[in-house]
């Protein structure tokens, strides 16, 4: 059971105070998820709605530090590839290069949101159980309203994805696309 009033929180999802985060939807990660055929169309649906409603879109992109400056446990070559073409950013979208599993650590993301009055962050992307959950929890600690788009998040590990959604649902809004889109359209 959640500690919050679901209907009351939903009122805070508006097109004028929201941002859509597309977390690490890069080639190597997309090719490793358990539900690619369902994930991509659901993500496209939210992106299209955000664009229609002038909701800013921020894409995150794994950008490793130079190998010498990586922590010792991460000093192996990993190329996540580019953002997949099906949901590639368009003019006006923001690409936020990051090198941690938290959108707020080592970036100006919080400053960007506060500069334009954003209070609600809708999270999509890969992986639910890693960067999405980490960033959503941090967002909540900073006073933002995190919303997890449950049809537009995924992972290479289905069990971990489902556990993460169950945990997050106890702390914050985890909603289907239709509810998010309806709030943006109202």
Average pLDDT over residues 89-112: 96
Q: Into which CATH architecture does domain 6-185 fall?
A: 3-Layer(aba) Sandwich (3.40)
Average pLDDT over residues 49-66: 94
What pLDDT, on the 0 to 100 scale, is given for residue 134? 98
Higher pLDDT, 60 or 1: 60
Q: Which of 1-5, 97-101, 109-113 has maximum average pLDDT?
A: 109-113
- The whole-angstrom separation of Cα 113 and Cα 143 is 12
- The whole-angstrom separation of Cα 148 and Cα 165 is 8
What pLDDT, on the 0 to 100 scale, is given for residue 76? 67
For tokens 């919303």, name the residue.
Answer: 147
Within 8 A by CB and 6+ apart from 168, the residues are 133, 136, 148, 174
What pLDDT, on the 0 to 100 scale, is given for residue 79? 84
- Assess whether pLDDT exceeds 90 at residue 7: no
User: Which residues sit opposite 83 in a β-bridge?
Assistant: 26
- Assess whether pLDDT exceeds 90 at residue 8: no
Query: Residues, the chain, total?
Result: 186
pLDDT digits (tens, 9 = 90+) for 116-161: 999 999 999 999 999 999 999 999 999 999 999 999 999 999 999 9
- Assess whether pLDDT exceeds 70 at residue 2: no
Domain extent listing, the chain: 6-185
pLDDT digits (tens, 9 = 90+) for 75-96: 666 789 999 999 999 999 999 9
Q: Which residues of 85-107 are buried (b: 16+ CB within 10 A; e: fewer)?
A: eebeeeeebeebebeebbbbeeb
User: Which residues sit opposite 21 in a β-bridge?
Assistant: 58, 123
For 105, phi and psi rounded to 5 degrees? -90, 120
Taking CA atoms, 133 is separated from 14, 28, 42, 66, 166, in Å, by 22, 20, 19, 26, 11
What pLDDT, on the 0 to 100 scale, is given for residue 68? 81
pLDDT digits (tens, 9 = 90+) for 14-39: 999 999 999 999 999 999 999 999 99
């Amino acid at each position: 059971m959640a500690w919050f009033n679901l209907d009351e929180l939903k009122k805070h999802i508006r097109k004028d105070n929201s941002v859509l985060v597309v977390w690490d939807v890069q080639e190597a990660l997309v090719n490793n998820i358990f539900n690619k055929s369902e994930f991509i169309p659901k993500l496209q649906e939210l992106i299209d709605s955000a664009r229609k409603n002038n909701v800013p879109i921020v894409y995150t992109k794994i950008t490793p530090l130079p190998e010498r400056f990586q922590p010792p446990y991460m000093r192996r070559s990993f190329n996540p590839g580019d953002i997949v073409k099906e949901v590639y950013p368009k003019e006006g979208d923001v690409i936020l290069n990051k090198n941690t599993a938290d959108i707020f650590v080592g970036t100006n993301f919080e400053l960007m949101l506060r500069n334009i009055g954003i209070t609600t962050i809708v999270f999509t992307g890969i992986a639910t159980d890693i960067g999405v959950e980490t960033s959503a929890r941090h967002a909540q600690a900073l006073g933002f309203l995190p919303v997890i788009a449950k049809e537009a998040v995924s992972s290479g590990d289905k069990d971990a994805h489902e556990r993460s959604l169950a945990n997050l649902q106890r702390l914050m809004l985890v909603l289907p696309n239709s509810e998010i889109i309806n709030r943006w359209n109202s």
